[in-house]
């Protein structure tokens, strides 16, 4: 009888303990603390993730103008649609950026730094560069200038409008030659002139073919515009080639007179390479006409006069 009572008490105790364990765990709650509790630690914990990085440094030199800011961008040259880095810098800022090495192209000059000055009519400057691995890349000094004046043109033969290749094109002022170029296979030439040249009013353009055709000379001026395009036509017109016996002037400063006598007035001086169509001969003097060309292909004027034979050679 006693043993049976003890067994009932044990069963009851087990049930009560199980009940308390179940409901106690159900209501178990983690304590919240307003601030972290650091045990035997410093007041601050710092974690650093280390990557292979490239540091790009750029210096800016203002040649003309006063930009208010710069937009500095870095591109991969195989993905120019969007920059891998872009930021606005002010003139007093140091241009420095740090990017993971994997951001850059490893191709030779496979990356492009672009500086766009803001606050005026400035030229955008592009600088290609290479990245071989982590480290420091120092770009060449970036010079800031105003957008240049651009002079382009095409040199053609007047008779058939074919391009003249390797013609010498010279821009000069009243004192000296400023720039020289050669025409390409299509007769094109191009100059970029910075502000100190493009705004001058004493510029002259000369196109020469080493005596094959008469030199073309003209004053040029941009008149406040940033671009100028010229069409230049050299040589005789188609009509001149079929007008008669064709001679070429062999000496610069050859007198072109109104009459055959030595004292006849000089209309102007011919240059070496000028073409002269002969229609009458009087001893050692030849009578005929030359063409004075304008800027357009159909802008010509015929002027008649006399030239000494010794200054001419007949063309086959």
Model pLDDT, residue 160:
87
Statement: residue 66 has pLDDT above 90: yes
The rounded Cα 229 to chain-centroid distance in angstroms is 17
Cα–Cα distance between 19 and 45 in angstroms, integer? 44
DSSP 3-state of 85 = strand
Confidence of residue 297 (pLDDT cuts 50, 70, 90): very low
Report which of 291, 292, 277, 287 is spatially closest to residue 308, judged by C-alpha positions: 287
Model pLDDT, residue 167:
96
DSSP 3-state of 132 = coil
Confidence of residue 242 (pLDDT cuts 50, 70, 90): confident
CATH architecture of 149-234: Sandwich (2.60)
Whether residue 91 contacts residue 61, with contact meaning beta carbons closer than 8 Å, is answered with no
The rounded Cα 111 to chain-centroid distance in angstroms is 17
Statement: residue 74 has pLDDT above 60: yes
Looking at the chain, which residues constitute the CATH 2.30.30.40 domain(s)?
A: 238-314
Mean pLDDT of 9-17: 63
Tokens of 57: 């440094």
Strands (E), 236-299: 245-249, 254-257, 266-270, 275-282, 285-293
Looking at the chain, which residues constitute the CATH 2.60.40.10 domain(s)?
A: 53-144, 149-234
The rounded percent of the chain whose pLDDT value lies above 90 is 52
Residues near 82 by beta carbon (within 8 Å), at least 6 away in sequence: 75
Tell me the average pLDDT of the chain.
84
Cα–Cα distance between 294 and 216 in angstroms, integer? 9
Taking CA atoms, 119 is separated from 29, 70, 93, 192, 243, in Å, by: 63, 9, 16, 22, 60
Task: Phi first, then psi: give them for residue 193, nearest 5 degrees.
Answer: -120, 130
Model pLDDT, residue 42:
57
Task: Phi first, then psi: give them for residue 146, nearest 5 degrees.
Answer: -70, 155
* Topology of domain 53-144, CATH: Immunoglobulin-like (2.60.40)
Whether residue 261 contacts residue 252, with contact meaning beta carbons closer than 8 Å, is answered with no
The residue to which tokens 């890349």 are assigned: 137
Q: What is the DSSP letter of 101?
A: G
Tokens of 84: 């891998």
Statement: residue 226 has pLDDT above 80: yes
CATH architecture of 238-314: Roll (2.30)
Model pLDDT, residue 285:
93
């Amino acid at each position: 009888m006693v043993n049976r009572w003890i067994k009932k008490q044990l069963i009851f105790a087990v049930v009560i303990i199980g009940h308390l364990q179940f409901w106690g765990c159900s209501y178990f709650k983690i304590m919240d603390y307003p601030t972290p509790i650091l045990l035997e630690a410093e007041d601050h914990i710092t974690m650093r993730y280390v990557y292979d990085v490239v540091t790009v440094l750029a210096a800016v030199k203002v040649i003309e103008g006063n930009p208010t800011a710069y937009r500095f961008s870095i591109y991969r040259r195989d993905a120019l649609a969007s920059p891998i880095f872009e930021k606005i810098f002010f003139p007093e800022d140091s241009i420095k950026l740090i990017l993971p090495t994997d951001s850059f192209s490893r191709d030779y000059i496979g990356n492009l730094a672009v500086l766009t000055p803001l606050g005026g009519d400035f030229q955008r400057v592009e600088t290609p560069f290479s990245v071989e691995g982590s480290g420091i890349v120092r770009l060449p000094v970036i010079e800031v200038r105003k957008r240049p004046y651009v002079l382009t043109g095409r040199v053609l033969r007047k008779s058939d409008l074919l391009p003249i290749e390797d013609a010498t094109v010279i821009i000069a002022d009243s004192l000296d030659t400023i720039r020289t170029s050669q025409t390409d296979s299509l007769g094109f030439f191009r100059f970029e002139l910075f502000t100190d040249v493009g705004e001058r009013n004493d510029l002259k353009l000369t196109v020469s073919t080493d005596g094959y055709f008469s030199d073309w000379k003209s004053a040029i001026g941009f008149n406040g515009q940033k671009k100028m395009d010229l069409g230049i036509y050299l040589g005789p017109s188609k009509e001149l080639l079929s007008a008669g016996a064709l001679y070429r002037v062999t000496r610069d400063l050859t007198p072109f007179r109104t009459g055959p006598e030595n004292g006849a007035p000089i209309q102007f001086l011919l240059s070496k390479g000028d073409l002269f169509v002969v229609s009458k001969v009087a001893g050692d003097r030849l009578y005929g006409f030359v063409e004075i060309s304008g800027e357009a292909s159909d802008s010509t004027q015929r002027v008649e006069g006399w030239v000494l034979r010794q200054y001419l050679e007949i063309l086959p």
